[in-house]
Amino acid sequence: MLKKTSFFFIGLVIACLGVGLIIKSGAGAGPWDAFFVGIVNKFGLTVGIWVMLIQVFYLVFNSILSKKRIQFESVVTVFLWGVIIDFQMGVTLKNVHLGEAAWTMQWGAFLAGIVLTGIGIGIYLTSKFPTMPYDGTMLIISERFHITLNVSRTILEGIGLALAWIVGGPIGLGTLIIMLMIGPLIQICTRYSTLIYEKI
């Protein structure tokens, strides 16, 4: 249990740091994160709170799609993700402002963010703890329609991109790169994280 819990928590911390770096980089946030930032700018609250609210929708959607009961266990994961992402952005990265920095700084932070996000999600999925409803949706779609996690994630990112555009979120070249890269990266990181987990 200690090993599972460690992988779960460490994965969330790393993933949220990665997401925070991407948002702060100014190169363009991931589709859903761009949506959250856009909706924060319009209606207030924090990215973490909006993450929690939207994930509740996914929780219900997953239940309908999988034809199973609502996985209330995921509420803990949703709460932790929301709290940690707000901590990473408001404390760890509080003084990081790259919107007008040199492009090398922006893209360096952006690429580091992508790598950390992929590694973090791969690690936390390895724990087999209840996933974020969004990640659960990715897995359910993959299994239900017999497509890879890569394709499943790309579909969901496309929906997020449309919503981000509607609310005026920070969409940029980085957004497109995330849509193309994050799925394969998570797949690779999950595979290697599982190998490490089994050897510990």
170 backbone φψ class: left, alpha, beta (φ>0; ψ -120 to 50): beta
Q: In whole angstroms, give the CA distance from residue 117 to residue 112.
A: 9
pLDDT for residue 101 is more than 80: no
Which of the four pLDDT bands, split at 50, 70 and 90, describes residue 116? Answer: very high
User: What would the 3-class secondary structure string for 13-50 be?
Assistant: HHHHHHHHHHHHHCCCCCHHHHHHHHHHHHHCCCHHHH
Per-residue pLDDT tens digits for 61-80: 888 887 888 878 888 889 99
Banded pLDDT at 194 (limits 50, 70, 90): confident
pLDDT grade for 53, boundaries at 50, 70 and 90: very high
pLDDT at 148: 81
Rounded to two decimals, the pTM is 0.85
How does pLDDT run across 155-190, given as a tens digit for each residue?
888 889 999 999 999 998 999 888 888 878 888 998
